[in-house]
């Protein structure tokens, strides 16, 4: 029997990381993450796993971000009761992230159920419950960096610093095939940039049979990239925003991004370079996670503040209570408001956006990747109106972006990381990226490292590869994929939301009722198949959010 590698997520899309390795001694998973993005992608979370969770022997987890760990409670809901191996800091973060994700599932399912009740429809069932998250937490086992473990027969594993978030790891595994020969595989997980507060650069040995590399920023380079340049750019954005007289709203991920921003804002305040009235971190989850960061502060590198000063500036307000969160809405200017989620498609940030987007003196600053179809991406792309909590909200605020807070390596760093891990005697698989980014990274690896086209593989969802030490022995494609891959970046739900807003604007801007009727009659004729649509007025491109029912975004 050979070793077979299955790609059950993060293949053709950035989220849903999940790999299954089947070998003579059994089978195991690396990661089991939630799919995030547009509704078509999120619907994958509700479809059955393409494997029996009860047949999995154990799971190796790279890090705690929800797009890598968010379906662990779904696994336990479906009967999984085996070990989940992760670093100690990752297990500390899971203590809060998994129950929080389950709480979001339950609360948003309740909201959807109330909507359905008004239409006399059946209740909506949450993806999983808090009790499923609690069951998953019971399965955690901790592993130290750079120490071998034997999680099951015929397999050794070793974790290496990935420099991405607290506790993040690349995972090196040796899997024996049917002849007893070890197939060496390196799973990158998510890789951090070379210059990042808190962590050293990503590390791992070289020389494998197969390397799986994330490709989120393939083809993209960041500017203002040193720690000093990053803080200078943040200082400029904060001072410009405060000079406008309104609030600065920053959608931020509860894990890592919130803590990095608090550190840098605290440093800028201490050095007298900025002077906000108050700095809010409005996220119960981020508050708990910040406590985990304090616990492991001794592990951190490149901090401008001492451990005792970390997150402790007197202007900081770390908010958990609902009433205190609501009270922030009365502040009209001078405050920095950070809130989850980082892609603005769940959590308290949506309330702060609804309150501040209509204000021309307000500023919204995006500090990380915004997945296609998320509310953050729609705002960032220049929409003049967005739909939040089923209401149209005008966008008058200044919309700004800083790309240098990403927790992901950029294009050059990804190429350098793979190059240092070579040779890969079998192949390099590019995952955790959109097709355009993967194509750019593949082209660079072929050009810079001389890899052949068939040595750099971009798998699609549920593809399986039979692995031998000297190369891929066979490929199995699913008879029917769980999703139309063409709907990954732009799905019909978002197109529908955009169309409804376009139609509303066209009808409202028509000079007469007769022309409004003409537009509607033309559409009716097209739907009936009796005529083309020829709108008498120019269409205006708008967008809105297209659904709910997803967890705290991963972030980067």
Average pLDDT over residues 154-169: 96
If one compares 546 and 134, the residue with the highest pLDDT of the two is 134
Of the pLDDT bands very low, low, confident and very high (cuts 50, 70, 90), residue 556 is: low
Of the pLDDT bands very low, low, confident and very high (cuts 50, 70, 90), residue 441 is: very high
Q: What is the pLDDT of residues 85-99, one digit of tens each?
A: 999 999 999 999 999
Q: What is the pLDDT of residues 417-438, one digit of tens each?
A: 999 999 999 999 999 998 999 9
How far is Cα 398 from Cα 410, in angstroms, rounded to an integer? Answer: 26
Q: What is the pLDDT of residues 172-210, one digit of tens each?
A: 999 999 899 999 999 999 999 887 778 888 999 999 999
CA-based R_g, the chain, Å: 24
What pTM was estimated for this model as a whole? 0.82
How far is Cα 257 from Cα 44, in angstroms, rounded to an integer? Answer: 26
Q: What is the pLDDT of residues 95-131, one digit of tens each?
A: 999 999 999 899 889 988 998 999 899 999 999 999 9
Q: How far is CA 156 from the centre of its chain?
A: 29
Of the pLDDT bands very low, low, confident and very high (cuts 50, 70, 90), residue 526 is: confident
Q: What is the pLDDT of residue 545?
A: 41
What are the residues whose beta carbons fall under 8 Å from the beta carbon of 411, sequence distance 6 or more?
217, 218, 219, 220, 221, 440, 441, 444
Q: Kindly write down the DSSP assignment for every residue of 280-324, as one continuous string.
A: EEE-HHHHHHHHHHHHTGGG-BS-SS-TTTTT--TTEEEE-SHHH
pLDDT at 244 > cutoff 50 = yes
Q: The tokens of 376 are what?
A: 């953050």
**Domains recognised in the chain with CATH numbers:** 3-220+407-487 (3.60.15.10), 227-405 (3.40.50.10890), 491-544 (no CATH)
Average pLDDT over residues 379-392: 92
Q: The tokens of 202 are what?
A: 């990503």
Q: What is the pLDDT of residue 370?
A: 84
Look-up: residue for tokens 């209509």?
358
pLDDT at 543 > cutoff 80 = no
Q: Counting beta carbons within 10 angstroms of the beta carbon of residue 441, is it exposed (0 to 12), middle (13 to 18) or buried (19 or more)?
A: buried
Least confident piece of the model among 27-36, 83-92, 303-312, 329-338: 303-312
Q: What is the pLDDT of residue 541?
A: 40
Spatial strand order in the sheet of 208-214: 149-152, 155-161, 169-176, 182-187, 208-214, 424-431, 456-457
pLDDT averaged over every residue in the chain = 89
Q: What is the pLDDT of residues 298-310, one digit of tens each?
A: 788 766 666 566 7
The CA distances from residue 181 to 177, 278, 421, in Å, are 6, 60, 21
Q: What is the pLDDT of residue 311?
A: 82
């Amino acid at each position: 029997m050979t070793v077979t590698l299955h790609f059950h997520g993060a293949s053709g899309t950035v989220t849903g990381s999940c790999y299954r390795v089947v070998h003579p001694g059994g089978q195991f998973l690396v990661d089991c993450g939630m799919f995030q993005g547009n509704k078509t992608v999120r619907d994958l979370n509700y479809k059955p796993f393409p494997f029996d969770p009860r047949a999995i022997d154990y799971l190796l987890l790279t890090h705690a971000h929800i797009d890598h760990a968010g379906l662990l409670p779904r696994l336990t809901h479906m009967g999984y009761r085996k070990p989940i191996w992760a670093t100690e800091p990752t297990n500390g973060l899971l203590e809060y992230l998994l129950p929080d994700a389950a709480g979001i599932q339950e609360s948003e399912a309740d909201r959807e159920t109330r909507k359905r009740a008004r239409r006399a429809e059946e209740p909506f069932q949450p993806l999983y419950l808090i009790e499923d998250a609690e069951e998953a937490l019971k399965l955690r086992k901790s592993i130290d960096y750079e120490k071998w473990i034997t999680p099951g027969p015929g397999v050794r594993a070793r974790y290496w610093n990935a420099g991405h978030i607290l506790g993040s790891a690349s995972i090196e595994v040796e899997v024996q095939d049917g002849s007893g020969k070890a197939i060496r595989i390196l799973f990158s997980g998510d890789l951090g940039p070379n210059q990042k507060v808190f962590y050293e650069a990503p590390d791992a040995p070289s020389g494998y049979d197969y390397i799986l590399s994330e490709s989120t920023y393939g083809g993209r380079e960041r500017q203002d990239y040193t720690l000093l340049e990053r803080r200078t750019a943040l200082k400029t954005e904060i001072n410009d925003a405060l000079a406008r007289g309104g609030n600065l709203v920053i959608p931020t991920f509860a894990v890592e991004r919130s803590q990095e921003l608090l550190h840098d804002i605290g440093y800028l305040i201490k050095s007298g370079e900025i002077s906000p009235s108050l700095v809010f971190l409005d996220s119960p989850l981020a508050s708990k996670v910040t406590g985990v960061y304090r616990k492991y502060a001794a592990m951190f590198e490149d901090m401008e503040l001492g451990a005792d000063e970390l997150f402790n500036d007197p202007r900081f307000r770390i908010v958990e209570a609902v009433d205190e969160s609501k009270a922030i809405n009365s502040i009209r200017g001078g405050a920095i408001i950070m809130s989850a989620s980082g892609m603005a498609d769940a959590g308290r940030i949506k309330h702060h956006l609804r309150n501040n987007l209509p204000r021309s003196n307000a500023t919204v600053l995006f500090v990380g990747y915004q997945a296609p179809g998320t509310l953050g991406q729609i705002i960032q792309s220049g929409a003049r109106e967005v739909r939040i909590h089923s209401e149209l909200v005008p966008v008058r605020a200044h919309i700004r972006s800083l790309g240098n807070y990403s927790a992901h390596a950029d294009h050059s760093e990804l190429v350098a990381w793979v190059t240092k891990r070579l040779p890969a005697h079998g192949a390099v698989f590019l995952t955790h990226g959109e097709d355009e980014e993967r194509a750019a990274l593949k082209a660079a690896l072929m050009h810079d490292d001389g890899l052949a086209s068939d040595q750099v593989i971009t798998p699609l969802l549920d593809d399986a590869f039979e692995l031998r030490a000297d190369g891929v022995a066979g490929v199995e494609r699913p008879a029917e994929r769980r999703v139309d891959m063409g709907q990954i970046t732009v799905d019909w739900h978002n197109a529908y939301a955009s169309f409804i807003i376009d139609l509303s604007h066209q009808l409202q801007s028509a000079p007469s009722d007769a022309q409004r009727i003409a537009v509607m009659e033309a559409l009716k004729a097209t739907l009936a198949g009796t005529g083309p649509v020829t709108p008498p007025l120019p269409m205006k491109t708008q967008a809105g959010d297209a659904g709910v029912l997803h967890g705290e975004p991963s972030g980067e």
